Amino acid sequence: MAGQPTGLRPNHMVRDARGDFLLSYGDEPGPDAMGNGAVWRYSPARGAWTDITPAPQSSDLQGDGFGWGAVAVDASNPDVIVATTFNRWAPRDDIYRSTDGGKRWKPLFERSEFDHSASPWTAQAKPHWMADIEIDPHDPDRVLFVTGYGLWASRDMTAADRGGTVHWVFDDTGLDETVPLDLLSPPQGAPLVSGLGDIDGFRHDDLQRTTTQFATPPRYSNTESLDYAGRQPLLLVRAGHLHHADPANVRAAYSRDGGSTWTAFTREPPATEGEGRASVAISADGARVIWQARGGPHWITDNFGGRWQKVRGLPASAVIAADRVEAALWYGFDPPSGKLYVSGDGGVQFNGIDTGVGEIGDWFRGELLPAPERTGLGLLRRVLEGPDALGRWQAGAPARRGKRLRRRPRRAAAGTRQSHPVRVR
């Protein structure tokens, strides 16, 4: 259409009661990349485009630009418009509101209060990635917007017209927008301990209520791996990731009270090759921990990071797990080759087992899940690429001495997640 903005992508469009179209724009779709944008009005009756952008690019204190995530208009009053910034990290993202059709705008958050009682952890977050906003067509005081962690709703939006405070509630009862990276349900303590992306993780004492994140220190961006000691289930370990590297923040921690409080390991292994997800596992008696950054070597410690040594016999692509009953027994599985490994000396040395599972490729995540109450009984979980066999393996002799496992195939549906029982007795 002639006269429309160039170099920008429209991401939202609404039509007001006069028949005009309001559009928000960004130069990229987001969520991380959006360095420019605008808000425009198009009037079909006049064939005219009008720039009504609420705030200039100079309002971005980081200097890398920002876009506009969404725009909405009051169904009963076309002069009332709201629009959200997108990727304006400094001073912050905001909602702008106009009561004269976009000629003048006011930011809302400087005169807003957020009620965090429904989800206490949101007190540690701030609205961002506001990719949608709506005005309730039946109640102009109720405005809803999405953010990177849930949904906020106002109860008194028109208070802004009187110079008052706008009050927001986290309108997510029973549903929080999070990214689970690992989940743990120990036989004692809280029914669930979670590792989450961006907001670290939680001890969930009541599954019907949200709570605050793990007590600090330490605080991670992500908690990516969790485990408990089979014979001491209140002894937990976790491994984390930092979006912004901090050498002073050790990326592994342990808890002796089921996740209520945490203590960082003394230090990470020396020369910690590898990148991305870190994984951690703890022996049944809680005496030893194996830690690995993806693609790097496995390291073992017997004093929570006071000293480390490299694990022998495992490829860098292997995942590991400790037996829940026998402290000396550990398992390993290498997804690219399908090979199984067992250690009988507490995780210092692993030996391959003659018969493996069959490769599942390094694009799938393999998981070893030892049984909680019985030595040597576990599950190997994988995502199947296509028609394959769901196998059972049973050892004729202790597998930790490297004996052969026998495989009994069973057909599984293509493209499904399956669990493979593995018995080593």
Domains of the chain (ranges plus CATH)?
Answer: 9-170 (2.130.10.10), 178-310 (2.130.10.10)
198 Ramachandran zone, left/alpha/beta (phi>0; psi -120 to 50): left
Q: Are strands 201-204 and 222-229 parallel, antiparallel or unpaired?
A: unpaired
User: What integer pLDDT is reported at residue 377 of this predicted model?
Assistant: 54
Structure tokens at 75: 């169904």
End-to-end CA distance of the chain, in Å?
A: 73
Q: Are strands 417-423 and 392-395 parallel, antiparallel or unpaired?
A: parallel
| Strands annotated E in 27-162 | 37-43, 48-51, 67-73, 81-86, 95-98, 106-107, 112-115, 133-135, 143-147, 150-154
User: What integer pLDDT is reported at residue 271 of this predicted model?
Assistant: 64
User: What integer pLDDT is reported at residue 421 of this predicted model?
Assistant: 40
324 Ramachandran zone, left/alpha/beta (phi>0; psi -120 to 50): alpha
Cis preceding linkage at 5, omega within 30:
no
Q: What is the mean pLDDT of each run of 10 residues along the chain (425 residues)?
A: 91 97 96 95 96 97 96 98 97 97 98 93 92 97 94 97 96 78 95 94 91 91 96 97 89 97 94 70 98 91 96 94 95 89 96 78 74 73 39 35 35 35 39
Instruction: For tokens 């960004």, name the residue.
Output: 26
User: What integer pLDDT is reported at residue 386 of this predicted model?
Assistant: 33
User: What integer pLDDT is reported at residue 278 of this predicted model?
Assistant: 86
φ/ψ (deg, to 5) at 322: -95, 145
Half-sphere exposure of 142 toward its Cβ, with a 13 Å CA cutoff?
7
The one-letter code for the residue type at 180 is P
CA proximity to 85, closest of 101, 103, 108: 108
Q: How many CB atoms lie within 10 A of CB 343?
A: 25
- Cα gap 288→300, rounded to integer Å: 7
Reduce the DSSP state of residue 309 to 3 states and report it: strand
| Strands annotated E in 87-221 | 95-98, 106-107, 112-115, 133-135, 143-147, 150-154, 166-170, 180-184, 192-196, 201-204
Structure tokens at 107: 């930011």
CB 332 within 8 A of CB 323: no
pTM of the model: 0.81
